[in-house]
Amino acid sequence: MANIKSSKKAIKVIAKKTENNHELKARVKNCIRNCDKAIESGNKEEAQNILKDVQKYIDKAFAKGLIKRNTADRQKSRLTQKVKGMN
């Protein structure tokens, strides 16, 4: 445990940022799963709506540095192809 007041505050700030980052990463993963489920069920409108949210959260995660550019682009591209490939 830190003894200096600024170090104690830094620990709290880091913990809060870590929690927010984990929350955003989990939200991205859950949205991707939900989009895959909508694609499997054949619900194109729902898949398109979820795809918009997925792209928004992936872009946010990239902007914060949680995922790399190529990873973000790959995930968005694959999901978009799946949705467009629906009947």
Domain hosting 48: range is 5-84
Asked if the model's pLDDT at residue 1 lies above 90, the reply is no
Q: What is the pLDDT of residues 13-62, one digit of tens each?
A: 999 999 999 999 999 999 999 999 999 999 999 999 999 999 999 999 99
Spell out the residues 6+ positions from residue 24 whose beta carbon is closer than 8 angstroms to its own.
57, 60, 61, 64, 66
Is 46:76 a contact under the CB 8 Å cutoff? no
Q: Which residue has the tokens 């940022």?
A: 17
pLDDT value of residue 75: 97
Q: How confident is residue 86, by pLDDT bands cut at 50, 70 and 90?
A: confident
* Number of domains present in the structure of the chain: 1
The better pLDDT of the pair 29, 87 is held by 29
Asked if the model's pLDDT at residue 87 lies above 80, the reply is no
Q: How confident is residue 2, by pLDDT bands cut at 50, 70 and 90?
A: confident
pLDDT value of residue 10: 96
CATH code, 24? 1.20.58.110
